[in-house]
Amino acid sequence: MRPKLVNGEIYHICNKSIANFGIFKNEHNCKRFLKAVDFYNNIFVWSSLSQAVKRKKYVSSNLMALKNDGLIKILSYCIVPDHYHLLFKVQKEYPISKYINDIENSYTRYFNVKYNRKGPLWQSRYRCVLIKSDEQLLHTSRYIHLNPSTGGLVEQPEDWIYSSYRDLIFNPDILQDLKEISIRDGETYRRFVEDNLDYQKNLKRIKNLILD
């Protein structure tokens, strides 16, 4: 059963496209999805993202920057061609399932209009895991940031620009604001993530052999 998202708790959310369709292969598509994540992360959402963009009433911000009116505090994120990951802490008494649905529905409408298609875009309802410990939080964050390298999209995770990894290793202010992540130094976090790179790549190969 999907856990109820509770204020103050941390969750890992992910979802995948139908038939592993490459819905994020285009740079503009990636940016549009990240805009949706940012735009709807607000208790005072006053319109749809498409209307806000059309009226030039919305300017995107860094997803990792703290928002006073934010529903969630994003701790890590990554989007790859056929799925996304969000790791966040709930900050407001608000149905976070509505927030996720707003993001996914907004992107579905955008994608369907752009490519003249109809129907659902997502494989199923999003998956949600409650983070219960600091160790689980660190390993989940590392797993998320290694996704592009594990999938063969880039050699090093910092080469993938559609994730929070570069913010965490290059922007000390961002990492200092993320009190939930126990590693306080960007270089230390980089070593923690990249020391596991070969293992995670091999683990994916083993999974592929088992499933094929």
Domain residue ranges in the chain: 10-211
**pLDDT of 208 strictly over 80:** no
User: Does position 129 have pLDDT exceeding 60, yes or no?
Assistant: yes
Residue 209 has pLDDT above 60, yes or no: no
Residue 20: which region, alpha, beta or left (left: phi > 0; alpha: psi -120 to 50)?
Answer: left
188 to 2, 150, 184: CA distances (angstroms): 34, 21, 8
Instruction: Name the CA dihedral angle for 41, 44, 48, 52, rounded to a multiple of 10 degrees.
Output: -100
Q: Which amino acid is at 16?
A: K
Q: What is the pTM of this model?
A: 0.91
Note the pLDDT of residue 53.
86
- The closest alpha carbon to 155, from 197, 187, 191, 199, belongs to 197
Question: Please, which pLDDT band fits residue 3 given cuts at 50, 70 and 90?
Answer: low
- Mean pLDDT confidence for 188-204: 84
pLDDT at position 185, please? 93
Looking at residue 69, its pLDDT comes to 87
Are residues 12 and 128 in contact, defined by beta-carbon separation less than 8 angstroms?
Answer: yes
pLDDT computed for residue 212 by the predictor? 37
Q: Domain spanning 10-211: which superfamily?
A: Transposase IS200-like (3.30.70.1290)
Report in angstroms the alpha-carbon separations of 92 from 8, 29, 56, 128, 146: 8, 28, 27, 18, 29
Q: What is the pLDDT of residue 203?
A: 67
Q: Does residue 211 surpass a pLDDT of 70?
A: no
Provide the pLDDT for residue 55.
84
| pLDDT digit string, tens, across residues 6-19 | 999 999 999 999 98
Please report which confidence band the pLDDT of residue 73 belongs to, taking 50, 70 and 90 as the band edges. very high
Q: In a 10 Å sphere around its CB, with 0-12 CB exposed, 13-18 middle and 19+ buried, how is residue 150 labelled?
A: buried
Using alpha carbons, select from 4, 13, 165 the residue that is nearest to residue 86: 13
Q: For residue 169, what pLDDT is reported?
A: 96
Per the DSSP assignment, residues forming a β-bridge with 84 are 15, 79
Q: Is the pLDDT of residue 81 over 90?
A: yes
Q: What is the CA radius of gyration of the chain?
A: 17
Is the predicted pLDDT of residue 72 greater than 50, yes or no?
Answer: yes
Where do the DSSP E strands lie in 58-98? 72-80, 83-90
Average pLDDT, the chain: 90
Q: How many helices (H) and strands (E) does the chain have?
A: 8, 4
